[in-house]
Chains A and B, each alone.
Chain A
């Protein structure tokens, strides 16, 4: 069996997601900026915190303005909790072990979820009294509360640092949410075989046992039958441009050459599927359907996509349209 390639993979939208929050969430977040816990009284009299734009039971509208908005807490009671022994760097607000808890602020009928900084797992129980520890710099996000902290009998919470509004300060309308996830991905057998071939200057394809069709850079199956392309076949590094486009958009990929450049579908000799490649070594105006091309291999071959740098014309006569028309 071929050794399979693995790679580290990160998904992270650069700069974080830009979330507009709408007027109801916005009013609650604006309250946090002012170190206040705002709640709404629902039609049935229950007090909902944190507020949503809808009643969580009936889905009826919750208006962004009106005298159903009230302040609750900030003291509250723990309804349920768990201990986080190992905080996640870059995700959790605290860099030491803490609890997650459902906390019902005084005056509210629902609970909100937040961190509790209580020293140890023994420092919290259902029924514990807690209050927010506000960050000094608050921007209008749920993390303006750094964590809740336990309150002793008769103890009053630390007051928050006063938020001094900038002159042109507006209610909160959006938040930024970074999301970074990391993976160790496996290429799989067919792709590993193909990549290994690239490192040896070969284009490896696969054929299913009951098929005549050869797939260059097979992803593991003959998609028509779903059968594994278990028979390894080497295809040529020459082929015909079936169709293409001239790309004039800058910055689509770190690997893209300077615009304008040509991206083409290429039917490699010995294969029955199209292969995407860049066409260089010729003016973009001279690229055409049916043109014969050959892979330009990198000086240093590696088992990855950098080994084929691009394709360039061979100078051979064009292929007859009849030969490739079924591949469009």
Chain B
């Protein structure tokens, strides 16, 4: 395996981007990410993005996104209709083949123009599930219900997660929900999607994130402290909730084992938990505990969840803490699909 590192990360999120269209929204993020990387833009070997047509409300969201890249002369480029964490995976694979030494990865999307919770029902089985229109939050609440019943956790535990997220987010300029909030404050809120409260549910977020990856000597040349990818693995589960064990995340566990999470201390973890209970499920699947690991110091997806870039941002948040010297080794997680159907785990480390 070639050594590959995150050498640049930029993220920009807001509750509602009502002025710029998607292309205009990502321009500053891409340009800053490239500039921060120290690699001249025309020397970056590959470009890969993640976006979703159903957020934009029309086909080919990624095509107009390319107008922000400056793809002239023509570039090696690809796109996944997935969270951009998987675009990063595709780029990492391309670097492993030896074809290229660096890549620009970005993800973008606006959740505010449509009804995101309803739109995500289009991910569901088109014959048995979509005609019933369970929303993204309904699906998550079903999992939360099964998890609390089986695990012995309570709504108090969910509130602890939600409150810590908001407190951590106070340090994060990109957070769209933050505050000096206690679990007791959260528990005063009404339950909106039993057993979940608003604070247990990610806030609607527009935005984008970009990362530049570089291999070996190039990474060492452009970064004082590259965040090396020591393991990157992802797994998917069956689709129907009725055939899955909703109280555990087997795909996260398997990806974590394969990525080598347990082979060292984990100083920091950024988990793509869009709902409070998901953080508890994920932490258990990865063998993380709050006593030894700072979990979601950015506030995580409960603080800002720009769909299609939030998973990529988890990788960036961990990398940034390693590059800054705040952490030596960390774990990033990205998810896709209803109730944590598909999960990626990335282990990052400084030298």
Q: Which of A80, A88, A188, A189 contacts B143 (CB 8 A)?
A: A80
Q: Which of B17, B126, B128, B145 contacts A82 (CB 8 A)?
A: B145
Q: Which of B19, B196, B239 contacts A186 (CB 8 A)?
A: B19
* CB neighbours of B195 from chain A (8 A): 82
| With A82-B145, A185-B113: A225-B57 Cβ-Cβ less than 8 Å | no
Q: Which of B19, B138, B192 contacts A100 (CB 8 A)?
A: B138
Q: Complex formed: what's the CA distance from A110 to B240 in Å?
A: 9
CB-CB contacts below 8 Å: B34-74 with A: 54, 57-58, 64, 66-72
* CB neighbours of B122 from chain A (8 A): 179
**Could you give, for residues 115-143 of chain A, a 1 whenever the CB lies within 8 Å of some chain B CB and a 0 otherwise?**
10000010000100000000000000111
Q: Are B128 and A142 in contact (CB under 8 A)?
A: yes
* CB neighbours of B79 from chain A (8 A): none
A320 interface contact, C-beta 8 A: no
Q: Complex formed: what's the CA distance from A222 to B196 in Å?
A: 46
The minimal Cβ–Cβ distance linking A230 to chain B, given in whole angstroms, is: 10
| With A183-B113, A223-B66: A141-B131 Cβ-Cβ less than 8 Å | yes
Considering the complex, give the chain A residue whose CB is closest to the CB of B113.
Answer: A183
Q: Complex formed: what's the CA distance from A224 to B195 in Å?
A: 50
The minimal Cβ–Cβ distance linking A18 to chain B, given in whole angstroms, is: 11
Q: Complex formed: what's the CA distance from A149 to B67 in Å?
A: 53
Q: Are A88 and B127 in contact (CB under 8 A)?
A: no
| With A11-B57, A183-B57: A25-B127 Cβ-Cβ less than 8 Å | yes
* CB neighbours of B64 from chain A (8 A): 219
Considering the complex, give the chain B residue whose CB is closest to the CB of A224.
Answer: B72
The minimal Cβ–Cβ distance linking A180 to chain B, given in whole angstroms, is: 10
Q: Complex formed: what's the CA distance from A9 to B314 in Å?
A: 32
Q: Are A186 and B17 in contact (CB under 8 A)?
A: yes
Q: Are B142 and A113 in contact (CB under 8 A)?
A: yes
* CB neighbours of A126 from chain B (8 A): 145-146, 149
Q: Are B138 and A84 in contact (CB under 8 A)?
A: yes
**Could you give, for residues 183-198 of chain B, a 1 whenever the CB lies within 8 Å of some chain A CB and a 0 otherwise?**
0000000001111100
Q: Are B18 and A223 in contact (CB under 8 A)?
A: no
Q: Are A56 and B238 in contact (CB under 8 A)?
A: yes
Q: Complex formed: what's the CA distance from A188 to B22 in Å?
A: 8
| With A6-B18, A19-B126, A227-B70: A220-B23 Cβ-Cβ less than 8 Å | yes
Considering the complex, give the chain B residue whose CB is closest to the CB of A57.
Answer: B238
* CB neighbours of B243 from chain A (8 A): 48, 56-57, 110
The minimal Cβ–Cβ distance linking B205 to chain A, given in whole angstroms, is: 15
**Could you give, for residues 100-142 of chain B, a 1 whenever the CB lies within 8 Å of some chain A CB and a 0 otherwise?**
0000000000000111001100100011111111110010011
* CB neighbours of A91 from chain B (8 A): 118, 133
Q: Are A102 and B71 in contact (CB under 8 A)?
A: no
Q: Complex formed: what's the CA distance from A89 to B257 in Å?
A: 45
Binds A, one of B24-32, B323-331, B341-349: B24-32
The minimal Cβ–Cβ distance linking B109 to chain A, given in whole angstroms, is: 13
| With A11-B58, A93-B132, A142-B132: A220-B70 Cβ-Cβ less than 8 Å | no
* CB neighbours of A81 from chain B (8 A): 142, 145, 194
Q: Are B72 and A82 in contact (CB under 8 A)?
A: no
The minimal Cβ–Cβ distance linking B34 to chain A, given in whole angstroms, is: 9
Q: Complex formed: what's the CA distance from A52 to B239 in Å?
A: 11
Q: Which of A9, A182, A224 contacts B70 (CB 8 A)?
A: A224
A190 interface contact, C-beta 8 A: yes
Considering the complex, give the chain B residue whose CB is closest to the CB of A178.
Answer: B131
The minimal Cβ–Cβ distance linking A250 to chain B, given in whole angstroms, is: 23
B242 interface contact, C-beta 8 A: yes
* CB neighbours of A102 from chain B (8 A): 142, 146, 241-242
* CB neighbours of B241 from chain A (8 A): 102, 111, 113
Q: Are B145 and A80 in contact (CB under 8 A)?
A: yes
Considering the complex, give the chain A residue whose CB is closest to the CB of B121.
Answer: A91
* CB neighbours of A85 from chain B (8 A): 192
The minimal Cβ–Cβ distance linking A139 to chain B, given in whole angstroms, is: 11
| With A126-B145, A219-B64, A223-B66: A177-B130 Cβ-Cβ less than 8 Å | yes
**Most chain A beta-carbon contacts within 10 A, residue among B57, B64, B119, B246:** B57
**Most chain B beta-carbon contacts within 10 A, residue among A57, A81, A227:** A81
Q: Are B23 and A219 in contact (CB under 8 A)?
A: yes
Q: Are A56 and B132 in contact (CB under 8 A)?
A: no
A249 interface contact, C-beta 8 A: no
Q: Which of B24, B196, B240 contacts A188 (CB 8 A)?
A: B24
Q: Are A4 and B18 in contact (CB under 8 A)?
A: yes
The minimal Cβ–Cβ distance linking A118 to chain B, given in whole angstroms, is: 12
Q: Complex formed: what's the CA distance from A227 to B35 in Å?
A: 13
Q: For the A-B complex with A79-B146, A80-B143, A102-B146 known, give 8 more contacts whose Cβ atoms are closer than 8 Å.
A: A84-B193, A100-B138, A112-B242, A113-B142, A186-B17, A221-B24, A226-B69, A228-B24
B contacts, CB < 8 Å to A: 17-21, 23-24, 27, 30-31, 54, 57-58, 64, 66-72, 113-115, 118-119, 122, 126-135, 138, 141-146, 149, 192-196, 238-243, 246
A contacts, CB < 8 Å to B: 1, 4, 6, 9, 11, 17, 19, 21, 25, 29, 48-50, 52, 56-57, 79-85, 88, 91-93, 100-102, 104, 110-115, 121, 126, 141-143, 175, 177, 179, 181-191, 219-228
Sample (28) of A-B pairs whose CB atoms are under 8 Å apart: A11-B58, A29-B127, A49-B242, A56-B239, A56-B240, A80-B146, A82-B145, A82-B193, A84-B138, A84-B193, A93-B132, A100-B141, A110-B240, A110-B242, A121-B194, A177-B131, A181-B54, A183-B114, A186-B21, A188-B19, A220-B20, A220-B24, A222-B70, A223-B71, A226-B27, A226-B30, A226-B69, A227-B31
